[in-house]
Amino acid sequence: MTKKLNVAVVGAGYWGPNLARNFRSSREWDLAAVCDLDRDRAQRVSDLVGGVAVVTSLDDVLADPTIDAVAVATPAKTHHAIVLAALRAGKHVVVEKPLAPSRTEGAEMVAVAAELGLVLMTDHTYCYTPAVMKIQELIADDALGEVLFIDSVRINLGLIQPDVDVFWDLAPHDLSIIDFILPGGLAPETVSAQGADPLRTGKSCIGYLSMPIGDGAIAHVHVNWLSPTKIRQMVVGGTKRTLVWDDLNPQQRLSVYDRGVEISHESLSSAERAAASVSYRLGDTWSPALPETEALSSMATEFAHAIAEHRTPRTDGSAGLRVLSVLDAATRSLANAGTASVVHSELSALEVAS
């Protein structure tokens, strides 16, 4: 890129300072402003990054013709209105997860961005970590073979959110990763979800989500706000190798095990297959070398390059919408005692009308 782009960060709460810091240090971006209804909070972020314009009105940001893009780091319930206003003002947008508070609203955001020819990107930060990018590469290169299962655990003694349950708070991370590493993306036909609220908070604080991911494979996500032990781990089992990602182990985040179960299906009937002998493969374990790069910095670079090259970003609005579709199905499953719910990939006529 020969010319820097100008970006404004909208929202100076939890995630806004991280975005501001990375845009400020980027070679592709000039941080033009920090916008927040609370001027003092915005000023603190501005001071943190060395001083930029502080704005309390979103309209003022969107009316500024020198600003090319906005990064939205506000509560999820505000994403729909802010993103649509930004797109209609001609701004490219990157928005914090989840893309929107509902699948219907997310679909409208994606449609408007496409209609106006603007980049709408979801800040699925984990998809820009060296570990997850390496997992995606290994699967694409067939190093693991055919994926048989994905088991993801994201548990800790966390903050109980006032407006969403544990699925909507934590599972978007795992779902976005699964969407990124699978060659066909996240496209289950059904989702089953079970939740528990032992503290009687009025929402699920512990959750288990299961979904088929094609060819008999399955993905399982465990999220929990109440665990005294913090675990961030994903296991991807393949026909050739099994990979374990432990995000809390900086010395060895990825481990690849040349181990597996093999069974011959040739010329076996269903009855014979059940009695067939199983062989176990026990091979070496190795840990891929990973570069030390900050995920948000890579995300900011991808956002700039997608705009400059007029292309779809790695985690575009459609990726965010696929995650919303799974969360929507999980919510319906939860309301029906864990019954499998269909994942709607297209909006119904009723949803479009509403």
What residue ranges in the chain does DSSP mark as E strands? 5-10, 29-35, 53-55, 69-72, 92-96, 120-123, 147-157, 190-196, 206-212, 218-224, 226-238, 242-246, 254-262, 279-286, 341-342
Helix (H) or strand (E) holding 172: helix 166-181
H helix and E strand count, the chain = 11, 15
Contact present, 189 and 340 (Cβ < 8 Å): no
pLDDT above 60: residue 353: no
Instruction: Judge contact between 93 and 119, C-beta under 8 A.
Output: yes
Average of pLDDT values for 52-79?
97
CA nearest neighbour of 128 among 162, 94, 155: 94
Of residues 167, 179, 152, the one with CA closest to residue 319: 179
* Local confidence band at 347 (pLDDT 50, 70, 90 cut-offs): low
Q: What is the pLDDT of residue 351?
A: 45
pLDDT tens digits for 90-126? 999 999 999 999 999 999 999 999 999 999 999 999 9
Structural domains of the chain, with CATH: 5-125+303-314 (3.40.50.720), 127-286 (3.30.360.10)
Split at pLDDT 50, 70, 90, the class of 157 is: very high
Lowest mean pLDDT among 8-17, 269-278, 311-320: 269-278
Instruction: State pTM to two decimals.
Output: 0.91
The answer to whether 258 and 160 have CB atoms below 8 angstroms apart is no
Q: Is the peptide bond before 75 cis (omega within 30 degrees of 0)?
A: no
- Residue 51 has a CB neighbour count (10 Å cut-off) of 11
CB 169 within 8 A of CB 321: no
pLDDT digits (tens, 9 = 90+) for 139-149: 999 999 999 99
Whether 269 shows a pLDDT value over 70: the answer reads: no
Q: How far apart are CA 87 and CA 81, in angstroms?
A: 10
Query: 204-247: per-residue pLDDT in tens?
Result: 999 999 999 988 999 999 999 999 999 999 999 999 999 999 99
The mean-pLDDT minimum among 158-167, 252-261, 270-279 falls in: 270-279
**Cα separations (Å) of 137 from 92, 133, 253, 288?**
28, 6, 15, 11
Sign of the Cα torsion 6, 8, 14, 15 reads negative
The fraction of the chain above a pLDDT of 70, given in percent, is 93
For 148, 218, 235, the CA distances from 342, given in Å and listed in that order, are 21, 15, 25
Q: What is the DSSP string of 207-265?
A: EEEEEE-STT-EEEEEEESEEEEEEEEEEEEESS-EEEEETT-TT-SEEEEEEEEE---
- Other Cβ atoms less than 10 A from the Cβ of 184: the count is 8
